[in-house]
Structure 1
Amino acid sequence: MTDDAAPGLPDLRASDADRERVAEVLRDALAEGRLDMTEFEERLEETYKARTYRELAPITRDLPVAGFTSPAVVSLHKEPPQEGSWAARIVGGEGSSTWAVAVMSGFQRRGRWTVPRRFTCFAFWGGGEIDLREANFAAGEVEINCFAIMGGMQITVPPGVEVVVRGIGVMGGFDQQETGVPGDPDAPRVVVGGFAFWGGVGIERKKTRAARRQERLDRRAAKRELRSSSRDEDGEDRRPTLEGHEDRGLGHGLGHGLGAGTADPRKEQRERRYGN
């Protein structure tokens, strides 16, 4: 970005993604012969040292973007996140609720709700359900602290979310099966902590009901298409066979029903007996 391209705007801080985009332009320029190795290394070093858009802009000012003839510039404006993407689900704010308690009872957090940066829940002789499959997130990393005393809690996360378990159990425990599963790019990170005594915190990864229902519909449609294709192929394979049987049946009927030149043995016997 140049000062002329955006007059009056402050000198904003560049992100790692901005620096990586500039580095990609430099790599393309090196491959196309627009930069020699010395120039490439110098500009690449400047790129990773740059802290603002003002420092990044001159690095690619004389280089074209791949597929275009205009100079490459760093965009100052963020593109709106696509609907349904992880970026669209990280909404900021304070969250729908920050705590929950169940004493000889239960609580639920599920459906469309916003997970705060830190959510704390407590269960004594009770249980709780925390479902994040349709939830939004106040930040890219959220912390859920569970304290289960002779009770239990169940946390359900959607595919793609990274889970880190740091809870401690005494005669109880925290489910570790989702620990170490890598998350999708830009997906939120869920850190589960707390304490369990004679209780437990379960963590499972499940798709939304809508996603599972759509998968079932897709499988049924694929099976119907396969059965229809199989019936069509069977019909084409059997048709010549049936036609051959019809031809042979017709010839057989003509031979026996109409004689087709075949003599009657009883008639010959009568003719020999009476001398005719």
Structure 2
Amino acid sequence: MLDIIKAIILGIIEGITEWLPISSTGHLILADQFIRIQMSDAFMEMFNVVIQLGAILAVIVLYFKKLFPVGKVNGCYRVKMDTVSLWLKVIVAVIPAALIGVPFEQQLDDLFYNYQTIIVTLIVYGILFILLENRNRTKMFPINRFSDVSYRTALLIGAFQVLALIPGTSRSGATILGAMLLGCSRAVSAEFSFFLAIPVMFGASLLKLLKFGFDFTGLEIAVLAAGMITAFAVSILAIKFLMGYIRKHDFKAFGWYRIVLGVVLGAYFIFLA
């Protein structure tokens, strides 16, 4: 029962931090110092990835009409070409991460999955968000609709997502930062990061499941289910919050938060761990 409660807490952390540009990995590593589920390291590695499926389902539910390529037009069901175009751009944007992440995932984890890297990436990208938003105070965004996103821009956004293979960067943080640098508005940048997460995180979760296997105990199933369901529910709230927040504010607050979190992580591992 205690492990299920811990899984719920981790699901809350995943649901919040997956969509805000503040690094879910950094938060889960910090949480792991205080909330340890009594399972094998292999299971926990798989758990931290698979609970993202719950978070992804939240995007699908919230944006179903925009993402489903068939809709009713003048009383008839037709293929929505704007949705087809959106998915094609998402597929193009996934290519860089697929080419680099799939063959080199283990090597990248072995090289960069440590608290030192996460502290550095938290702080560096926090500073970049603040600098970018300071620049944006006097800059207009030329891309305010998904139809304005070219395939070249989508591919370049996907290239920025590759940076998220380094722990602590934040997948949403890398894609949002890259999209804004390429001229996308905050809303388009955030939503594109949501949509881009669907194939990326589904693929990552499937690979982890295949690697771990499907021979779960009853407790393992309960822990996974608790984490996924919680991540789904919290993700809906987090996504709604983020989209409402950026209508009136910029991303600087998240930049400052990343810097503070990086300093806290550094102090913890240097003086307490």
Specify the structure having the higher radius of gyration (Cα): 1
Q: Do the two structures share a fold, i.e. TM-score over 0.5?
A: no
Report which structure shows greater RCO (CA 8 Å, sep ≥6).
2
> Which structure: greater helix fraction?
2
TM-score, normalised to structure 2, is: 0.22
TM-score, normalised to structure 1, is: 0.21
